[in-house]
Chains A and B, each alone.
Chain A
Amino acid sequence: MGNVRSRAIDDALFDWPAPDPALKGSRCRRCGAHAFPAMASCRSCGGTEVEAVELPRRGTLWTWTVQRYMPKPPYRSLHTEATFEPFGVGYVELPGTLRIETRLLEHDPARLRIGAPVELAFYTQYVETDGTEVVNYAFRMA
C-alpha cells in the first residue's frame, strides 16, 4: 500500500487498516440474537445489554443477484456510467450467528451458487478527492 491512505467505509463495520480485520457485530446478552452492524439495543427483544462480537470470516452463500445497472447516488464508486461493471450482491449465512447482506467479489452467474462456501474479503469502493481509498467489506467464493 505504501503511502496510499485508506479508511473503512464506516468505522462501525470493521477496523481498517488492521492486520486481520473481521466484521463487527453485536449479540444480545438477554436473548442471544445477533445483529450486523452492531446495534446499541436488541431488535429481537428490545434488550439494552448488548456485547460486541467478531463475526465469522467464513460462511455459505444464502442468496445472490447481479446488479447490472449503476445505482443512483448516494452510490459512490470508481466508475462512471460508461465504465460501470456489474457486481454481485448477496446474503451470506455465517454459521451460528446470522445472515448478512454483502457485496460479492464475483458476478458470473455460472459461478454463483446457493450453498457455496464464501470468505470475507475487502475492496476499494471509491477514492476520495484527497486520494484516500475507501474500503468496504465483501465476500468471495472460497
Chain B
Amino acid sequence: MRAAIVGIGIHPFGRTPGVSGLQQGAVAARRALADAGVRWQDVQFAYGGSYSAGNADALGNELGLTGIPFINVLNGCATGGSSLVAACQAIASGAADLGLVVGFDKHDRGAFNAHPAEYGLGDWYGEAGFMVTTQFFAMKLRRYMHDHGIHADSLVRIAEKAYANGALNPNAWRRTPIGFEEIQHSTMVNDPLTKYMFCSPAEGGVALVVCREDHAKRYARTPVYVGAAAMRTRCAGAFEVYGTSVSLDDAPNATALASRAAYEMAGLGPADVHVASIQDTESGAELMHMAENGFCEHGAQDDMLARGATRIDGRLPINTDGGCLANGEPIGASGLRQVHEIVLQLRGAAGARQVPRPIMTGYTHVYGAPGVSAVTILQK
C-alpha cells in the first residue's frame, strides 16, 4: 500500500518577526488540512520535527489536543524527509489511513553552531573551529572539483539559477535575481564558495496530509503518490560532515545509498525523473548531489549547467522553487518544502515557475549532519 499526498501547506520562508516557529508550523498545518478538505480531528497520526523551535507535538496546543499518536522527529537536515518516510511506513503497514507530516523552524542569524556532544564529539572539536558545516561542504567540493575537473563557473551558475527561480516564488525569502558576476565576486566565505553560494538558516513551516492511496481521490483531484521514500545514514569510510577522521576506503555516502534504495523501491531510474529538488545548502552541494542522485556522471555537471539543463525550461529542472539558496534553511521544514514544490509541479499549480511540459515523476533529496539523507520519488 503506497501513501498519497493529498494536502499541502506552507508558511512563507525567510524572516517573520513576532511569529514563533511553532505558529508558522500551525499555519502550514491548517493550510494543508484545508487543501485536503479534512479536519484536524479526522487525522489519525502525525510525525513532525523542528531543530530550534520546540517539539512538533506542541502543535496540539495550536490545532487542538485530540489524543492522537504524534511522534517528534529529530534527524538534522533530514528531519522533514525522515518524518515523511515514517508516515509512509505507517500508511503502508495498514496501521492508519490518514496522517499529518509537519516541519517548522526558526533559527538565529548566522551559521549554525551545533554542540559537539550532540554528535559524540569532544568539546575540543568545537573549540578548535571545526563545528562549522560550511567548511565541510567547501572541503568536499574542493576535492570533488580536483577529482572530476569541475570549473568554478558551474558554482556560479547554480546560485544564479536559484535566485532566478526564487524571484518567481511568492513563498521564497530571496526574491531578487543576482547576476553571474555579483555572485562570482561576492565575499569569499569558505574557499571556493562565496557568500551568494551559501544559504542561510531561516524560518518557515510546511505540512503535508498523507493517506492510503486507495482513499486519495476522496481528498484530492490530483493526488501525488509516494513511489518511494527512503532514508539512510552514513557508512564507515564515507566522507561526511563532522568526521574527525575517515578511512582510505571511499565508501558510498548516505545520499548515494538513499538514492539507490529509492530507485529500487519505485522501480524507476534517474532517466524517469522529470523534476527534482535536491539539497543545495550551497551551490557545491547541488553540483555534487546531481551526480550522487544519478542525474549525471561525476564530472558531467559543467556541460549540463552550461547548457542550462537544470533550469525550469531545461531537460531536468532542479530546485524550481529556488531551493535552500533562495528559501533559506529552516531545518525542520526544509525537506518538506522540497516535497511541497514537487507536488505543486505535478499538480500543474506552480504558477510562474511551472515546468513548461508534461511531467509525471518528481524527486526530492535532503542531506544533513552527521551523514543522513532522505529521498522521495513522487508520481502523479
Interface residues, chain A, with chain B CB atoms under 8 Å away: 9-10, 12-13, 25, 33-37, 43-44, 62-69, 71-77, 87, 89-91, 93, 97-101, 103, 109, 114, 125-126, 134, 136
Say yes or no: is B236 at the interface (Cβ < 8 Å to chain A). yes
B116: CB under 8 A from chain A? yes
Q: Could you tell me the distance between the alpha carbons of A136 and B125 in the complex, rounded to whole angstroms?
A: 10
Given contacts A71-B131, A73-B113, A100-B244, contact A10 B139 (CB under 8 A): no
Q: B124–A136 contact, CB under 8 A?
A: yes
Given A10-B123, A12-B122, A74-B116, answer yes or no on A67-B244 (Cβ-Cβ < 8 Å): no
CB–CB A91/B246 < 8 A: yes
Contacts of B124 in A (CB 8 A): 9-10, 13, 136
Stretch of B140-148, B154-162, B350-358 contacting A (4+ beta carbons < 8 Å): B140-148
Contacts of B189 in A (CB 8 A): 68-69
Nearest-neighbour CB distance to chain A for B372, whole angstroms, equals 16
List, in ascending order, chain A residues with CB within 8 A of B190's CB. 65-68
Contact indicator B143/A101 (Cβ below 8 Å):
no
Could you say which residues of chain A place their CB within 8 Å of the CB of B248? 93, 97-99
Q: Which of A69, A89, A98, A125 meets B247, CB within 8 Å?
A: A98
A62 to B131, CA, bound (A): 19
Q: How far is the CA of A117 from the CA of B192 in the complex (A)?
A: 21
Q: In whole angstroms, what is the CA distance A90 to B140 when docked?
A: 10
Residues of B contacting A25 in the complex (Cβ-Cβ under 8 angstroms): 245
B239 to chain A, nearest CB (A): 8
Whether A87 contacts B236 by the Cβ 8 Å rule is no
Question: How many A-B residue pairs lie within 8 Å, measured between CB atoms?
Answer: 116
B135 A63 Cβ-Cβ under 8 A: no
B135 near A67 with CB under 8 A, answer yes
Report the separation of the CA atoms of residues A126 and B243 in the bound assembly, to the nearest whole angstrom. 23
| Residue in chain A with minimal CB distance to B192 | A65
State whether B111 touches A114 (Cβ < 8 A).
no
Distance in Å: Cβ of A102 to nearest Cβ of chain B: 9
Residue numbers in A under 8 Å from B246 (CB-CB): 91, 98-99
Question: How far apart are B117's CB and chain A's nearest CB, in angstroms?
Answer: 10
Q: Is the CB of A65 within 8 A of B247?
A: no
Nearest B-chain residue to A91, judged by Cβ: B139
Could you write out 6 A-B pairs with CB less than 8 Å apart?
A: A9-B128, A13-B124, A68-B187, A71-B131, A72-B113, A75-B129
* Contact indicator A126/B132 (Cβ below 8 Å): no
In B180-236, the 8 Å CB interface with A consists of 187-192, 236
Q: Does B138 contact A (CB under 8 A)?
A: yes
Interface size class of B (residues with CB under 8 A): 35 or more
Give, as a whole number of angstroms, the nearest-CB distance from B286 to chain A. Answer: 18
Query: What residue in chain B is nearest A8 (Cβ atoms)?
Result: B124
| Minimum C-beta distance from A59 to chain B (A) | 11
Whether a CB of chain A sits under 8 angstroms from the CB of B130 is yes
Q: Which residues of B contact A77 (CB under 8 A)?
A: 129
- The distance in angstroms between the C-alpha atoms of A122 and B16, with both chains bound, is 45
Whether the pair B132, A37 counts as a contact (CB closer than 8 A) is no
For residue A23, give the distance in angstroms from its CB to the closest CB of chain B: 10
The answer to whether A71 and B244 have CB atoms under 8 Å apart is no
* Extra A-B contacts (4), CB below 8 Å, given A37-B244, A65-B191, A72-B111: A9-B127, A65-B139, A66-B191, A87-B129
User: In the complex, A72 Cα to B110 Cα: how many Å?
Assistant: 9
A114 in complex: contacting residue of B129, B142, B192, CB < 8 Å: B142
Chain B, Cβ-Cβ closest to A55? B245
Interface status of B149 (Cβ within 8 A of chain A): no
Does chain A have a CB within 8 A of B126?
yes
* In the assembled complex, B115 has its CB within 8 A of some CB on chain A: yes
B60 contacts chain A at the CB level, 8 A cutoff: no
* Chain A residues, CB < 8 A from B252: none
**B194: nearest chain-A partner, CB-CB:** A68
Q: How far is the CA of A110 from the CA of B139 in the complex (A)?
A: 16
Contact, CB under 8 Å: B142 / A89? no
List B contacts of A134 (CB < 8 A). Answer: 127
Q: Does the CB pair B243–A101 fall under 8 Å?
A: yes
A10 CA to B130 CA, complexed, in Å: 14
Of the candidates A33, A37, A76, A87, the one whose C-beta lies within 8 Å of that of B122 is A37
**Smallest CB-CB separation from A76: which chain B residue?**
B127
Contact A10-B247, Cβ < 8 Å, known A65-B191, A101-B130: no
What is the CB-to-nearest-CB distance from A142 to chain B, in angstroms, rounded to a whole number?
19
Decide yes or no: A98 and B139 within 8 Å by CB, A67-B190, A72-B113, A74-B115 being known contacts.
Answer: no
Q: Establish whether residues A36 and B247, one from each chain, have CB atoms under 8 Å apart when the complex forms.
A: no
Which 10 pairs between the two chains have the least Cβ-Cβ distance?
A74-B126, A65-B138, A72-B113, A63-B143, A10-B124, A36-B245, A44-B236, A9-B124, A100-B245, A63-B139
Whether B237 sits at the interface, judged by CB under 8 Å, is yes
Name the distance in Å between A37's Cβ and chain B's nearest Cβ: 6
